[in-house]
Amino acid sequence: MSNSSEKLDDVTETIDSLFSRTLDTVAPLRLRKIKENSPTPWYNEHTRALKRAARKMERSWRKTKLEVFRTAWWECTLSYRKALKLARSDYFSTLLEENKHNPRYLFNTVAKLTKNKEPTGTDYAHQHSSNDFMNYFTSKIDTVRDKIVTMQPSITVSHQI
């Protein structure tokens, strides 16, 4: 009995190693760096509690469809939004105040706040030339002139002497 179980273990090990090598060849294990979602610095316990309360009111309203819960949900959501806006504003105010002598940091922070993600030195020369610009407006002027000519009624001028 032990001989057959040893054979079975050997066969199982062989098949396991064969499948493992095949899997490693076909689909090798790749390690991924998991990016931690850092919560926003201005999101604190107070704002978290307000959001939790608003979601609780929303669930109550969705369950019962009572106007009281809808109104309470709306008020909780408004207070959460106000608190979040105030916390964010305070965070950036202190950040700017702490770094007021660092112009690079200030400009980068303002760019983040205004969501200005485009590079400032955009080169339009590759996209359009001055001739393209001139041809565009020349064709527009010609089109307008043609429309004016076709819209004018024929004026017959009779000269009497």
* DSSP per residue, 114-137: TT--S-S----TTT--HHHHHHHH
Within a 13 Å sphere around the CA of 74, how many CA atoms are in the beta-carbon half? 6
pLDDT digits (tens, 9 = 90+) for 77-128: 999 999 999 999 999 889 888 888 888 888 888 887 787 555 555 555 556 6
**One-letter amino acid identity for 121?**
G
8 A C-beta contact, residue 33 and residue 52: no
φ/ψ of 128, rounded to 5, equals -140, 140
pLDDT digits (tens, 9 = 90+) for 1-48: 567 778 888 889 999 998 888 888 888 888 888 777 767 888 889 999
Closest CA to 139 of 149, 129, 147: 147
- What does the radius of gyration of the chain's CA atoms come to, in whole angstroms? 36
Lookup: tokens for 54: 């608003």
Taking the domains of the chain in order of start, what are their residue ranges? 43-116
